[in-house]
Structure 1
Amino acid sequence: MTGGRWRDRGVAALGLTVIWVLLWGSFTPLTMVGGVVVAVIVLTVFPLPPVTYAGRIHPLSVLRFAGRFLTDMVLASAQVAALAFRFGHVPRSAVIAVPLRAPSDLGLTMTAEALSLVPGSLIVDVDRKRGILFVHVLDVSGPDSVERFRQDVLDLESRIIHAFGSPAERHALGEVPA
């Protein structure tokens, strides 16, 4: 096993141990040792595939992404709440296919997860080979709102790529030469 692979397994074991301690709700030597034992067993029985991360974290872009993501969550929560209390209105929903421009596994996953956390949208399927997200969207009024939502997803993908993406992914967005 290479040094990077050992590091990845160590990070995964540390993460699983932290989750174990948080689930038990007590920070004691016994829960720490139990967490390490469970982590080693889980990683041995269910080995993770090798994941390569060719990107680089860009702190300013991470802050932009986080700020806009929190804003989107608050606004969408208010919109869904208002929709729930609107009498006499039956919201129309749709499943929209959104082809991503830089569909790496990490970019696809992060975009799907961020999108699912925003109220009013939910990932129902992913075509990993073609890089397409199929998103259920609440309260779609017509073709214009479908295109507006599709552009919002592409903007989200762009913010994620700017925050965590590789030069090749940025090039796929058409913004940085490879």
Structure 2
Amino acid sequence: MTTPRERLAAVGNQIPPLIALIVLWMLLWGEFSWLNLLVGFVVGMVVTVGFYLVPVQLSGRVHPLRTVVFFVRLIVDIVWASIDVAWLAVKPRLVTSNAILAIRLHTRSDLILTWTAVATSIVPGSIVVDIDRESSILYLHVLNMHSAGDIESFRRRVQNTERRIVRGFGSREEVERMRGVRPENRRAARRAKRMNEKGTS
């Protein structure tokens, strides 16, 4: 059974999609009126209740500087990748060597997994073809992979994208996981440290 707090959290998670649907409805009609607002609310309620999806848990944490770093780096990656793909298109004697890569991520968050997939796909030269949600694995079709070094370089690039997203938007547990320390281990270490301090005092 769910507790009242869990039910309240579930209702709260449905509010952002409801607001987004109302705004989308208003944009489709191209004008604001109380009737459009009311109809948009009704349509949004029908969609969010009738087509209920498991709510995505937001971390509630945003690091402004890390977020700026993520977007700036994403823009730089898009520009450089666009130049590389354009050169491949006009390069004489082009020898294509594409690959399907399986890249395991560290995150266990559906939201971070989705954002990493989107951020990787919008950079020219690669596209996500499948996702293993249970194992947090992205399967990508990647252009111009000629060696194991190219594959490893691309793998690090995707994992670095994941790391920047986690640092900007992820929960504290996700940040700890990206540092290679599981949250439960960190908590256990803190408890052990407190116990030792009590024992020596």
Q: What is the TM-score with the length of structure 1 in the denominator?
A: 0.89
* Residues 14 and 55, structure 2, Cα contact 8 Å, conserved in 1: no
Amino acid at match of 1:98: I
User: Which residue is 2:114 aligned to?
Assistant: 109
Q: Which structure 2 residue ranges, 5 or more long, are not aligned?
A: 184-201
User: Which residue is 2:14 aligned to?
Assistant: 9
| Cα distance in 2, alignment partners of residues 34 and 119 from structure 1 | 40
User: Which residue is 1:37 aligned to?
Assistant: 42
- Identity, in percent, stands at 38
Matching residue within 110, 125, 129 for 1:124? 129
Q: Alignment length, in residue pairs?
A: 177
User: Which residue is 2:153 aligned to?
Assistant: 148
User: Which residue is 2:63 aligned to?
Assistant: 58
- Please report the RMSD computed on the Cα atoms of aligned residues, expressed in angstroms: 2.0
* Residues 170 and 176, structure 1, Cα contact 8 Å, conserved in 2: no
Structure number with the higher helix fraction is 2
| Cα distance in 2, alignment partners of residues 175 and 94 from structure 1 | 28
- 1:14-46, Cα deviation, whole Å (9 max, x unpaired): 11122233344x122144333323211111210
Q: What SS does the corresponding residue of 1:134 show, helix, strand or coil?
A: strand
Greater Cα radius of gyration, structure 1 or 2:
2
Note if 1:165 corresponds to 2:180. Answer: no
User: Which residue is 1:79 aligned to?
Assistant: 84
* Residues 26 and 40, structure 2, Cα contact 8 Å, conserved in 1: yes
| Cα distance in 2, alignment partners of residues 165 and 135 from structure 1 | 23
Matching residue within 136, 142, 146 for 2:141? 136
* Residues 55 and 167, structure 1, Cα contact 8 Å, conserved in 2: no
* Residues 72 and 118, structure 1, Cα contact 8 Å, conserved in 2: yes
* Residues 95 and 137, structure 1, Cα contact 8 Å, conserved in 2: yes
Offset of residue 55 of structure 1:
5.0
